[in-house]
Amino acid sequence: MKLCPFCGHQNRPGSLFCEDCAQPLFEDAKVLTLQTKQIELPGDVDARSTWGTASFEKHATVLLHVRDASEPISLRPTENQLTIGRADNTSPIGPDLDLTPFGAMDKGVSRLHAAIIRNEDTLTLVDLNSSNGTYLNGQRLTPDTPRVLRDGDEIRFGRLVAHLYFQEDLRA
């Protein structure tokens, strides 16, 4: 099977475009879309010419670097959702990762904004119907629709920008 890097749909080998989201699946697909892609990116996003790997090793961890924060946050996603949002003492359920210290309130992060889920050898990001949306590399996610994450991806929760890096486990 050929996993679509955009929506995670399983396509049959030999498919050239994803059956589910119409994105190109072949090797040098970037060349076809790169020029026009830069135009549609919002101003505060760097246009990226290369993609990191989508493969997420068994013992790997994730570093989430919130823009302007001094320290990255280290995460270990599980097969359960790792929820990201803003803790609120009126709400009984808090997120696994609370972004309040990074100005979540001002930047329009919802209480349960998004989640990272670990699959067999990939990570996916899913928007949990947040008020201001989750953006992956400038593209807004459809709520409840997982997208595959790659090393170096830029994620935006409302107006809070963060970069995601895969970190292999050095003991392995």
d(CA 145, CA 125): 8
**Nearer CB in complex with another protein: 15/167:** 15
Q: How far is the CB of 15 from another protein (least distance, A)?
A: 5
Q: For residues 82 and 11, what is the distance between their CA atoms, to the nearest angstrom?
A: 27
Residue 148 and residue 5 in contact, taking contact as beta carbons nearer than 8 Å: yes
Q: How far apart are CA 122 and CA 117, in angstroms?
A: 9
Q: How far apart are CB 42 and another protein at their closest, in Å? A: 13
Closer residue to another protein (CB): 81 or 145:
145
**Phi, psi angles (nearest 5°) of residue 126:** -130, 135
Tokens of 162: 């963060």
Which C-beta is closer to another protein: that of 66 or that of 148?
Answer: 148
Closer to another protein at the Cβ: 15 or 100?
15
Q: Which residues bind another protein (CB under 8 A)?
A: 1, 7, 12-17, 20-24, 26-28, 32-33, 36-37, 39-40, 139, 142, 145
Q: Which two tokens stand for residue 50?
A: 């290369």
Strand order in the sheet with 112-118: 97-98, 82-85, 112-118, 123-127, 147-148
Least distance to another protein, CB of residue 33, Å: 5
Spatial separation of the C-alpha atoms in residues 33 and 78, rounded to whole Å: 33
* CB of 133 vs another protein, minimal distance in Å: 12
Q: How far is the CB of 121 from another protein (least distance, A)?
A: 17
Other Cβ atoms closer than 10 A to 39: 7
Residue type, 73: I
